[in-house]
Chain A
């Protein structure tokens, strides 16, 4: 099959360094990272703390300004976009964070929170906005009567669904998921991941999933890039990486994954 690959996100030799207030200490959070994501597929960025994966995500969304390198999303050069056009571009490039409750303005009701991107970018009247919000709520399986509630009245899983609804309300093409299920209970994690998969199929979304949880990565990612201390040390198809890792760090990372079946022993 010779279908032309449509590369939706392209990162080339990204570098981001943080320096302390006094300027004396420097941390190279991201060094020379390159990656590509095809349309409709999911790239997993896996790594432990300090690996730089969250920093890469923020650079791709333009929330952090990278020092050098190329970031191209849907053909646009992120580093060259002006403030105004970048803001408008966010209709197509969205991000869901790890903290379900903290990502929402505590004073806004759910319906209002989800509607915010529409208020910013779309030219719809009140009724149309309300309908669209209700539609999204239905798609993420949030009951309609939560429309007027406040974030703290919802459970963690529900809060995260709100964040997902809000991220999808303007029909974006690319969604970055930064540890979207890390702070949720295991059974809720499953629901959210299933939801994300369903939405991806329905709307042909392209995902970049960041996680330290190997189970999550294996569950929904097509390709994986393993990060360690700011660099990508191995990349490939998910099955390849999990079944035959080449890099020793990847191997030790996979070795740390504890199977739930006691018959599969992964010990020292």
Chain B
């Protein structure tokens, strides 16, 4: 693939978002490595320091350096969310293709179940489920996967429903493809488009959900660094003057979500370009 051809794949949102995400990932490894501060060790003497060279983002009430914690958080945040969204997405696409392709009573039942799950507000559902199941990481991943299944089912299914009416589906069968090959080789690849874009959006949402859960005391617990729980511990101090405890994690959280949404946009632009 020549450089010239590769150039065509770059568009502004894609480049910016990939860079940001890359920085987050790299940062999550390098910052804790090079920082003198332990992200989980309390250090009462340093408590409530305002931002300075020593503590670029200040410290919280336990004296933990916020800068190192903010950049350590992605390890948990991103890994749990990616895992959850990937699993949910994979399942959702599978169900979407199957129910889109075969009609009948089973499809209808599955779709109604999907409707039911989607009827609950995402955050409430996630919090309830984790609250019931317990705070360990595997539960969080399962819950994240679960709440993401419906949207992927819908996206993929609607693509499949349109595709199956197209002539090339009939033509593929006429050539000698089995139904299985038809689905795997023709229908699935053509229905992934919206789902791929959705991944980015779901990642953003997932990070938000995780943070939201932590903010409400469910899911990731202190002292594990997580943007949401960090914001939580800082809320009572905003009015007393120690604004940095909530603000920095909040801003970084917003940037993270923004980069995922931007990533979706970049992927969308890429797809549009290819289909011209």
Tell me, yes or no, whether A binds B: yes
**B113 interface residue (CB < 8 Å to A):** no
**B173 interface residue (CB < 8 Å to A):** yes
Contact residues on B (Cβ < 8 Å of other chain), bracket: 10 to 19
Stretch at the interface among A93-101, A220-228, A229-237: A93-101
If A95-B171, A102-B167 are given as contacts, then 15 extra A-B residue pairs at C-beta distance below 8 Å, sorted by A number, are A61-B174, A63-B174, A90-B175, A90-B176, A97-B170, A97-B171, A102-B166, A103-B168, A104-B168, A104-B171, A106-B275, A117-B175, A120-B177, A120-B181, A152-B276
Looking at A83, A88, A104, which has the most chain B CB atoms within 10 Å of its CB? A104
Contacts of B8 in A (CB 8 A): none
Contacts of A126 in B (CB 8 A): none
Contacts of B35 in A (CB 8 A): none
Name which residue of chain A comes closest to B179, CB basis.
A83
Cβ of A91 and Cβ of B176 under 8 Å apart? yes
Cβ of B190 and Cβ of A105 under 8 Å apart? yes
Cβ of A90 and Cβ of B174 under 8 Å apart? yes
Q: How many A-B residue pairs have CB under 8 A?
A: 53
Q: Mark interface residues in B156-190 (1 if CB within 8 Å of A CB, else 0).
A: 00000000001110111111111001000010011
Contacts of B176 in A (CB 8 A): 87-88, 90-91, 117, 120-121
Name which residue of chain A comes closest to B177, CB basis.
A120
Contacts of B168 in A (CB 8 A): 102-106
Cβ of B170 and Cβ of A63 under 8 Å apart? yes
Cβ of A116 and Cβ of B167 under 8 Å apart? no
Q: How far is the CA of A238 from the CA of B176 in the complex (A)?
A: 33
Contacts of A103 in B (CB 8 A): 167-168, 171
Contacts of A121 in B (CB 8 A): 176
Q: How far is the CA of A120 from the CA of B171 in the complex (A)?
A: 14
Q: How far is the CA of A61 from the CA of B173 in the complex (A)?
A: 10
- 29 sampled A-B residue pairs with Cβ under 8 A: A61-B174, A63-B174, A88-B176, A90-B174, A94-B174, A94-B175, A97-B171, A98-B167, A99-B167, A102-B167, A102-B168, A103-B167, A103-B168, A103-B171, A104-B171, A105-B168, A105-B172, A105-B186, A105-B190, A106-B168, A116-B175, A116-B177, A117-B176, A120-B176, A120-B181, A121-B176, A152-B276, A163-B171, A166-B175
Output the least CB separation between A189 and chain B (Å).
19
Contacts of B174 in A (CB 8 A): 61, 63, 90, 94-95
Output the least CB separation between B192 and chain A (Å).
10
Output the least CB separation between B249 and chain A (Å).
42
**A107 interface residue (CB < 8 Å to B):** yes
Q: How far is the CA of A116 from the CA of B168 in the complex (A)?
A: 12
Looking at B170, B178, B190, which has the most chain A CB atoms within 10 Å of its CB? B170
